[in-house]
Structure 1
Amino acid sequence: MKLKNKIFFYSTFLFVILVILLSATIYFTFINITYDRELNRVESNAQNILSGLRNETDEFSVIDLMSFYVPNDGMLRIVNQDGQLMSPAVLSGEVPNTLKDYQISFERGRQSGVITHSDVSYGFVQLPTIWRDGQVVYMQVFESLETVDNNLDILKLVLFLVTIIALIPVFVSGKLLSDLIIRPIQSLIQTMNEIKSSQTFKHIPLNKQSNDELYTMGQTFNELMDLLKENYEKQEAFVSNASHELRTPLTVIESYASLVKRRGLERPEVVQESIDAIHLEAVRMKDLTEQLLLLARRDQDWKLDITEIQLNQLIEGVAKNMERVYRRSIHMDAEESIIIQSDKQKLKQLIYIFIDNACKYSDEPVRIELSHGSKPIIKIEDQGIGIPEDSLEKVFDRFYRVDEARNRDHGGTGLGLALAKELADSLNIDIELDSRVGEGTTVILSLNSLSSH
């Protein structure tokens, strides 16, 4: 069964049951109230009849008295303590004679209730009294409730018609409710089928803003499509850029290999030049591949190993290694010894990336400043070529280069700062860049949530 039919069936069925239960409750409540009221009335009449019989003298016969006091459309009879008639029963109105023979489960004392005889309801009341000869007898009064039955029949018919009429909007509302709920779901299914067939990202049309879950579902789907589209475009750009970056070293390797193959035997110096170039490009391609794998496998390989780190010693160690590699002076200023809790290898790699860039794009000494106010701050300052202001927000994008030729000369892959941003996010470190073209760049690393002293 389709969801639309299920919603229509269950909602309509529930409303039908509620309407029927409401009508039945009204009907049976009215019956109980009506019969109780009529029994009270019959009992009050019986009390009046009994008072009248007690006050009468002996000059009237029992039958005459009973004929005088018998209720309209009813019956009056007197029985002894064994439930046997002491005198013939007296009837009035259109009460059938067969009512005289109606047997009631006799019990001494007061009794009352509603009985049914010949498809007619009667209110029945039994009251004890002292008869003329001094014995205890019981007066039984029967009064027809046919008018009440007729009114109840009319009420039953009215409630039935009202129930039938009330079911019409129930069915209509059930249909409208199912259409209202299913419409955005059908739109979602249609949009998903269009996406599958056209291989494009599309939105569900949202007519107006509301606070219900269906609108939220459509809005969430559209946001998900935007996210998938953005990630898909990034993936395409990533694959395209990675292919481009790998193609260059492979082309160089192929060219030098062909050169060695053609002239290697004739010119030994060509072999040495080719080997050096092939080795350089192989190292560059290896570094690029490792960085790509690290960025792609972040969830698996970037689990933090938190240990206690002497930040001053860590930075000094990286600075000394960079001095030996670039044969460049690196000055470090530190106000005090700072100890933090962090992942040593990832923090070391992050600092290495920024010091490496500072050395690559500057011929002057590099300055590192370590301070501790509300949180540890690391400043890495160079006096190099600088970064244009419009490129500051883009330098952390993968494969982005401020100057393609200049970066190629320095052997960059365009992934260093992207990797640094990933490392900083995992270590909860804020990165701030302050740079001017021709004057240099300052990198400010703020360690936020790391325990330090």
Structure 2
Amino acid sequence: MKLRTKIQLFSSLFMLVLILLVNTSIYYLFYNITADSELEQLAAQTNTIAETLSSNPDIPTSDLLDAYLPTDGMIRVIGEDGNLVVPELKKPTIPSEIAYEFSVNEEQTIVAQEQEADVAIISKPIIWHNGDIVTLQVSNHLLALDETMTTLFYVLVVASIIMLIPLIIAGIVLSRFLLRPIQALTQTMKDNTRHANWKKIDVGNRSRDELYEMEKTFNEMIDYLKDNFEKQEVFVSDASHELKTPISIVKSYAQLLERRGEANPELINESVEAIDAEADRMQKLVEQMLSLAKNKTEAAMQQVDLILLSEETIATFKGAYARDIHLEKQLTEVVVNGNPNQLQQVVYILIDNALKYSQETIEVAISARNNEAILQVTDYGQGISEQEQARIFDRFYRIDKARSRDTGGTGLGLAIAKSLAEAHHGRLIVTSDVGEGSTFTLTLPLVQGNEPYSH
């Protein structure tokens, strides 16, 4: 069942039930009020008959009772033995099979009839002429009430139909109003799927309701998916391009070995070294690509001393490369909130990048200012032009491609570092002058309430 049908059916059924409840309440409330009014009038008439019988003993009872006989009613006088003291007086319209019995209590009741109008009955004990207690029963056939209730029934039915027609029309209009944006959204998604485009919904200048928010959110999602899809295409294209070169080199040396390897032992060594170097390069490229993908997931955070982490990383580089790396610190402790492994990877990438592009001393400086921890890695290499500084953090971008291949660079390191910095609510920027060197600055929020200690 379509949503439009559900809305129309639900709204129509709901209003039908509501109308039935209201009309039924009106019907029975009117009946009860009118029936009570009829009983009150009949009770007053019964009291009048009783008083007249008591005050006029000389008037023949039948004549007196006949004078007070209701228009559509009946009068009975019932003795203690349950028999009629005088013959009953009745109009032809009232059914004679109404039961009667002697009672010393005054009673008011309405007797329902199957095929006819209801009958109102008043039973009142009185003292008869001979001093016996008898029951005076006065009945009235509620023909007028029955006709009124029949008329009211048809009026309520017609009124219900008249009210349902505009309600059904309103349900149709409402369903169209609600479903038009949903249908547009569905069609747009189908078009995007079928034609592989990035079509958005025209929200226009209509009211800013929930449907508007849905359409606006869909457009934002399309922009987000488009941006990520384009980035993915660029990433796959760049990765394919980067892997193509080492694979071609490995294949070329393998073919060279197949043709001339047996006759030239020196060629074997050269080829093995080249294949091994390119294999290492491909391994490093794949590892960094996986690292970049993993960095998109949230990692466990804890308090990390940036100075201690940097000292450990610098010690590793000094032992491996025997290079001069100087750490400048004015504080004994700079605590940030982050993942130790990821933050160490950022420091590693920055120092490794500085070592590749400079043969001079590498300087690492750590400080704190304005509730921020600041880590700077400075090299005195060839520097980076302003044009290239704007792209230095792009994936696979390398300033000197030939030199990067010699040093094993993949162009992913700084992209990973920037991604990790942003994941820690920090920033990574570069300042550089051509021919003088470069400084990469990592800024991270300090742990609140944890003031840094100076010497």
Q: 1:349 to 1:29 in 2, by over 3 A?
A: same
The 10-residue stretch of structure 1 (391-400 or 40-49) with the greater mean CA deviation from structure 2:
391-400
2:432 counterpart of 1:436: yes
Mapped to 1, the partners of 2:102 and 2:217 lie a distance apart of 76
Mapped to 2, the partners of 1:44 and 1:440 lie a distance apart of 116
Instruction: Decide which of 421, 424, 427 is 1:424's aligned counterpart.
Output: 421
Long gaps (5+) in structure 2 = none
> Could you list the per-position Cα deviations for residues 169-224 of structure 1 after superposition, in whole angstroms to 9, with x for gaps in the alignment?
23323333443444334333333332332232322444555455444443333333
Q: What residue is the counterpart of 2:75 in the other structure? A: 76
What's the offset of the Cα at 1:240? Answer: 0.6
Counterpart amino acid of 1:282? A
Counterpart amino acid of 1:6? K
What's the offset of the Cα at 1:125? Answer: 1.1
What's the offset of the Cα at 1:110? Answer: 0.5
CA RMSD of aligned residues (A): 3.4
Q: 1:146 to 1:357 in 2, by over 3 A?
A: same
Instruction: Decide which of 216, 219, 243 is 1:219's aligned counterpart.
Output: 216
Q: Give the structure-1-normalised TM-score.
A: 0.84
Contact preservation (8 Å) 1:342, 1:450: no
2:330 counterpart of 1:335: yes
Mapped to 2, the partners of 1:319 and 1:25 lie a distance apart of 87
Q: What residue is the counterpart of 1:8 in the other structure? A: 8
Question: 1:30-45 alignment to 2 at 5 Å?
Answer: 30-45=30-45
Question: 1:163-312 alignment to 2 at 5 Å?
Answer: 163-210=160-207, 212-258=209-255, 273-298=270-295, 303-304=299-300, 311-312=306-307
2:111 counterpart of 1:115: yes
Mapped to 1, the partners of 2:328 and 2:447 lie a distance apart of 21
Mapped to 2, the partners of 1:449 and 1:98 lie a distance apart of 99
The 10-residue stretch of structure 1 (28-37 or 13-22) with the greater mean CA deviation from structure 2:
13-22
SS of equivalent residue, structure 1 residue 337: strand
Q: 1:388 to 1:43 in 2, by over 3 A?
A: farther
Counterpart amino acid of 1:153? T
Q: 1:61 to 1:297 in 2, by over 3 A?
A: same
Q: 1:157 to 1:137 in 2, by over 3 A?
A: same
Q: What residue is the counterpart of 1:142 in the other structure? A: 139
Counterpart amino acid of 2:154? L
Q: 1:189 to 1:206 in 2, by over 3 A?
A: same
What's the offset of the Cα at 1:119? Answer: 2.0
Q: 1:145 to 1:251 in 2, by over 3 A?
A: same
> Could you list the per-position Cα deviations for residues 136-163 of structure 1 after superposition, in whole angstroms to 9, with x for gaps in the alignment?
2222222342222211111111111111
Contact preservation (8 Å) 2:73, 2:94: no
Contact preservation (8 Å) 2:103, 2:125: no
Long gaps (5+) in structure 1 = none
Contact preservation (8 Å) 1:8, 1:174: yes
Q: What residue is the counterpart of 1:52 in the other structure? A: 52
Contact preservation (8 Å) 1:395, 1:401: yes
What's the offset of the Cα at 1:415? Answer: 0.2
SS of equivalent residue, structure 2 residue 83: coil
The 10-residue stretch of structure 1 (220-229 or 38-47) with the greater mean CA deviation from structure 2:
220-229
Instruction: Decide which of 130, 154, 160 is 2:151's aligned counterpart.
Output: 154
Mapped to 1, the partners of 2:50 and 2:125 lie a distance apart of 9
Mapped to 2, the partners of 1:18 and 1:366 lie a distance apart of 82
SS of equivalent residue, structure 2 residue 22: helix
> Could you list the per-position Cα deviations for residues 281-332 of structure 1 after superposition, in whole angstroms to 9, with x for gaps in the alignment?
33222211211122234578x85486x8664444234334445666543221
Q: What residue is the counterpart of 2:374 in the other structure? A: 377
Q: Give the structure-2-normalised TM-score.
A: 0.84
Question: 1:85-124 alignment to 2 at 5 Å?
Answer: 85-91=84-90, 95-96=91-92, 99=95, 102-115=98-111, 119-124=116-121
Contact preservation (8 Å) 2:326, 2:362: yes
Q: What residue is the counterpart of 1:17 in the other structure? A: 17
SS of equivalent residue, structure 1 residue 419: helix
Q: How many residues align?
A: 446
What's the offset of the Cα at 1:339? Answer: 7.1
Q: What residue is the counterpart of 2:129 in the other structure? A: 132
Contact preservation (8 Å) 1:112, 1:126: yes
> Could you list the per-position Cα deviations for residues 108-129 of structure 1 after superposition, in whole angstroms to 9, with x for gaps in the alignment?
3111122356723332212222
Q: 1:210 to 1:106 in 2, by over 3 A?
A: farther
Mapped to 1, the partners of 2:285 and 2:204 lie a distance apart of 48
Counterpart amino acid of 1:154? T
What's the offset of the Cα at 1:352? Answer: 1.2
Contact preservation (8 Å) 2:104, 2:124: no
Q: 1:429 to 1:66 in 2, by over 3 A?
A: closer
Mapped to 2, the partners of 1:358 and 1:175 lie a distance apart of 70
Q: 1:64 to 1:440 in 2, by over 3 A?
A: same
What's the offset of the Cα at 1:353? Answer: 0.6
Counterpart amino acid of 2:287? E
Q: 1:401 to 1:43 in 2, by over 3 A?
A: farther
Mapped to 2, the partners of 1:105 and 1:390 lie a distance apart of 115
2:26 counterpart of 1:26: yes
> Could you list the per-position Cα deviations for residues 412-433 of structure 1 after superposition, in whole angstroms to 9, with x for gaps in the alignment?
211001221333345x261332
Q: 1:137 to 1:170 in 2, by over 3 A?
A: same
Mapped to 2, the partners of 1:305 and 1:446 lie a distance apart of 17
Contact preservation (8 Å) 1:398, 1:418: yes
Counterpart amino acid of 2:37? R
Contact preservation (8 Å) 1:392, 1:433: no
The 10-residue stretch of structure 1 (407-416 or 141-150) with the greater mean CA deviation from structure 2:
407-416
2:315 counterpart of 1:316: no
